[in-house]
Amino acid sequence: MYTQQSQQQGANAVSSKELSYITDCLKNEELLAKMASEAISCCHTPQLKQKMTQIAQDRLQHTDQLLRTLQQHTQLTH
């Protein structure tokens, strides 16, 4: 939802609210990744272990994606 204000500031600028959400989500992903990593060593069932591994890896991907999104918009505003 583009507003005129945001267009004036730059079409790809990130609002402060969006920045806050991205920051929060990065924290969430970090926490989840740590929890899943911890769970891998605690789980003995192969199925669960595998799932936790996948979840931990997915969290890393998400972290990358969030960082990339933030980076893209930061670069374009300069």
Partner 1 sequence: MYQSSYGISQQGTQQSGSIQEQDWGNLVLSELKRTAREYTTAALEATHPAIRQAFQALAQHTMQDQAELFDVLSQLNGYGSVKMANMQEVQQELQQQVHKAEQLQNLVQQAIQSGHAQASQANAFQQSYTANTAFQTGAYQQAQQPMSQQSFGQQQGYGQQQGFGSGAGSQGYGGGSSYSSPASSVLNPSFSANTGGGQSAGSYRTGSAQSGYGGSLTGSSYGSIASKSSTEAFGDAAEPRGGNSYNWSADNSNAARGGNSYNWSASDDTQSSVSVDASADKATGHNSKYML
Residue 35 phi/psi, 5° resolution? Answer: -65, -45
- Give SS3 for 13: coil
Out of 8, 60, 66, 78, point to the residue binding partner 1 (CB under 8 A). Answer: 66
Out of 4, 8, 9, 47, point to the residue binding partner 1 (CB under 8 A). Answer: 47
Site size toward partner 1, by CB under 8 A: 40
2 is a site residue for partner 1 (CB under 8 A): yes
Q: How remote is the C-alpha of 25 from its chain's centroid?
A: 5
Q: How remote is the C-alpha of 13 from its chain's centroid?
A: 18
26 is a site residue for partner 1 (CB under 8 A): no
9 is a site residue for partner 1 (CB under 8 A): no
